[in-house]
Amino acid sequence: MTGLVRGRALRLAGCLALVAVLSGCMELNMGLAVNADDTVSGQLLLTARKTVLTSGNRTVEAGFAELRQNIPALPPGEETRYEDGRVFGFQITYRDTPLSDFNSESVKLVRDGDLYRFTLPLDPKKYGGKIAEQHPQSQQDFLRLMSFEISVTFPGPVRETNGTVNGRSVSWQVGSNQNKPAELRAVAEAPPRPSAAATDDDDAGGFPWLLVVGGVVGLLVVAVVVVLLLRRRPAAPANAGATAPGPTPGGSTLPGQPGGPTLPGQVPGGQPAAGSTPAGPPESA
């Protein structure tokens, strides 16, 4: 009986030592920006110290894979390896990711009408799952020894939060070996978004731009046609109604013809004068 109790004590001590080593080195950093079109951009970084990951002659990859099993599911994104001289881990990049993807166990970011609601639950039951298989108390220790550095920027003003507000951004810094709040939360205003009904109303009762544009085009076509017709109309004669011109210079006109010399007994125009007798042929001697 004494040996059984001693064995349990040794396993508990080893478990707590493992929790202190693993979670004391674990950091979760996240910076997100919520866009007005209900998408999210930013990065999430989860790392651990290399000295811990390589204990027991493991590679950093194997050590991190084991450690990650104690972290709840994270929002999916483009995942890449991250490494520097001190830590190893992975980085998730979000580029205009739909808001619906941020509904995981670890991060919830939703739109509720005209509000955005962000929550990051720090529930001990969600962390240290593999370690908890050895002892339930280890879950609370695992989460308590983790560190979090979170920042979220909203497109609208922040209404309520348990973090630090700077303009439209909210940040939290929760250090290792500190008691954790139940959750990190923030509520911010969301910009209005057009609905299908509003779009239909605009189409039905809005300004009739199509009719206006069509009318303007029609007037331009009529104006062009009028201008073309005026250009093709023949010009009126310059001396309309004037008398015909006289004989051309150098030409001869017979007596008695209009414009010619006047004979005795004729009035101009070649007609006999009144009371005159036309001359007959000369009498013979």
Question: pLDDT tens digits for 239-274?
Answer: 544 454 555 444 445 455 555 555 555 555 555 545
Q: Which of 149, 167, 150 is closest to 158 using CA atoms?
A: 167
- % the chain with pLDDT above 90: 41
Reply yes or no on whether the pLDDT at 105 is more than 80. yes
| Per-residue pLDDT reduced to its tens digit, 209-244 | 666 667 777 777 777 767 777 777 665 555 544 454
Query: Which of 53-62, 96-105, 250-259 has the weakest average pLDDT?
Result: 250-259
Residue 253: what are its φ and ψ, rounded to 5°? -125, 130
Residue spans per domain, the chain: 27-194
In angstroms, the Cα distances linking 27 to 89, 96, 142 are 10, 25, 12
Element (H, E) at 3: helix 2-24
The per-residue pLDDT for 242 is 47
Continuous H helices in 44-128: 50-53, 60-68
Assign 35 a pLDDT band (cuts: 50, 70, 90). Answer: very high
Give the pTM.
0.62
Reply yes or no on whether the pLDDT at 122 is more than 60. yes
Angle subtended at Cα 36 by Cα 30 and Cα 42, rounded to the nearest 5 degrees: 20
Residue 52 pairs in a beta bridge with none
Structure tokens, 180: 């954790």
Q: Which of 38, 41, 39 is closest to 194 using CA atoms?
A: 38
The rounded mean pLDDT for the chain is: 76
Q: Hey, what long-range contacts does 161-165 have (CB within 8 A, 24 or more apart)? A: 161/185, 161/186, 161/187, 162/186
Reply yes or no on whether the pLDDT at 166 is more than 90. yes
Ordered DSSP codes for 121-151? E--GGGS-HHHHTT-THHHHHHHHT-EEEEE
